[in-house]
Copies of this chain bind each other. A is one copy, B any other.
Amino acid sequence: MGVVVMKFGGTSLADPERIRAAARRVLRMKRAGNTVAVVVSAMGDSTDELVALAGRVCVDPPKRELDQLLATGEQVTVSLMAMALEDLGAPAISFTAGQIGMVTDDAHTKARIKTIDVRRIREQLDAGRIVIVAGFQGVTREGAVTTLGRGGSNVTLVAVAAALRADVCENLTDVDGIYTADPRIVPGARKIARIGYDEMLELASLGAGVLHNRAVEFAKKYRVPIHVRSSMNERKGTLITDEPEAMEKVVVAGAALKDKLARVIVKGVPDQPGVAAKVFHAIGAARIVVDDIMQIIGDDGRAVIAFGIEQADLGDARRIMARLGRELGCEATFADDLAKVSVVGSGMRVHSGVAERMFEALAKARINIENISTSEIKISCLIDRRLGRKALRVVHDAFELGGKKR
């Protein structure tokens, strides 16, 4: 018994029948003696449909108006969820972000939560009602509607759970939890029972989906444990929480594959202050996200700069580098067809030999490593994309992530 905040994603609310199923699940949680708040996403693909509708009215919709439009998606589901609960005999009340003072900055379409006034939620919970809160949306101090960007409903979940000091924060979704690797690629992948915030952040940014980084960062900041589990069954999922004590740390928690990467290698860069900045300013201005930047000074006193980009940005990067090449007297080459295989685990901080084991496994499988990048808790290898899925299986196997070898 305690305060529970449950969140249902769009797939779990895609039609009236699923909304009623979600309501029954909420009700079971309530009847078990808990105080329950619920955060909901918009129904199925309705957010995408609203974006498409805006596109048919306006080439480049003003962001304030886009937010005003998109927020209706969650306003629909909060009211339907409250109705479904009332229909089951459970007193319930729905709230939009404006109605509970979920105040954000005014960065429309990617707003950040500043404060929540939980008094109204508490009042209703104290009166025995189940409170339904619209995910993904906020409101500025002036009353304009904002949205929180991709993964925004999960940010709402964590924010509500933090503000209510919830005992349990459940993210009910269409997957069972976080796996040691993508089960569609690695059949032996195992569901992770418990994972640290930092590990989850690395896994998510390295290609493992489910939770958007912003929600995890927010959960880490407010130390809210998130239970990611399926809305379709009652099985336990994955608990994302503080890292376990050093003694019991798992060396490697999971492995991930990020596909469709490209790499830009710029040779003959004058080794002068400001040149690298010029390159990354031009790339950044085109909204191209880069990672794994390396710079080496060659014998000729000129530098080689290499960095990774998404393959989709390759065309833009080529144009920019052609222009910069003339200006700076350097030359860029491009490698597409790359993938990145990574292992993540907070135990790496205190265990050695992880990198060696990974490289050895890839070598044994005759997978060439094009580039390596590391952090305290992850090791990533850039490899030929055609070998990406094989590499993930090899690495997963090498660290016995599916369980001890039989």
> A residues engaging B (CB < 8 A)?
16, 19-20, 50, 53-54, 56-62, 64-66, 68-69, 71-72, 75-76, 78-80, 82-84, 86-87, 93-94, 96, 98-99, 143-145
Contact = CB atoms under 8 A, between A and B. Distances in A.
Contacts of A143: 98-99
16 contacts: A19-B57, A20-B57, A50-B76, A58-B83, A58-B84, A58-B87, A65-B86, A65-B93, A68-B79, A68-B94, A68-B96, A69-B76, A69-B80, A69-B83, A71-B75, A72-B75
A65 B53 contact: no
A400 to B, nearest CB: 47
A23 to B, nearest CB: 8
How many chain copies?
2
A54 B71 contact: no
Contacts of A65: 79-80, 82-83, 86, 93-94
A399 to B, nearest CB: 46
B72 A84 contact: no
Contacts of A86: 58, 61-62, 65
Contacts of A94: 65, 68
A356 to B, nearest CB: 56
Nearest to A132: B65
Main secondary structure of the interface of A (DSSP, over half): helix
Given A68-B94, A86-B62, A93-B64, A53 B80 contact: yes
A75 B54 CA distance: 13
A263 B373 CA distance: 87
A19 B55 CA distance: 13
B16 A87 contact: no
Given A57-B80, A60-B87, 7 more contacts: A50-B76, A53-B80, A58-B83, A64-B93, A65-B82, A68-B96, A69-B80
B87 A76 contact: no
Contacts of A53: 16, 76, 80
Choose among A54, A62, A93, A143 the residue with the greatest number of B CB atoms under 10 Å from its CB.
A62
A82 B66 CA distance: 10
Given A20-B57, A57-B20, A78 B68 contact: yes
Given A98-B98, A143-B99, A57 B78 contact: no
A61 B86 CA distance: 8
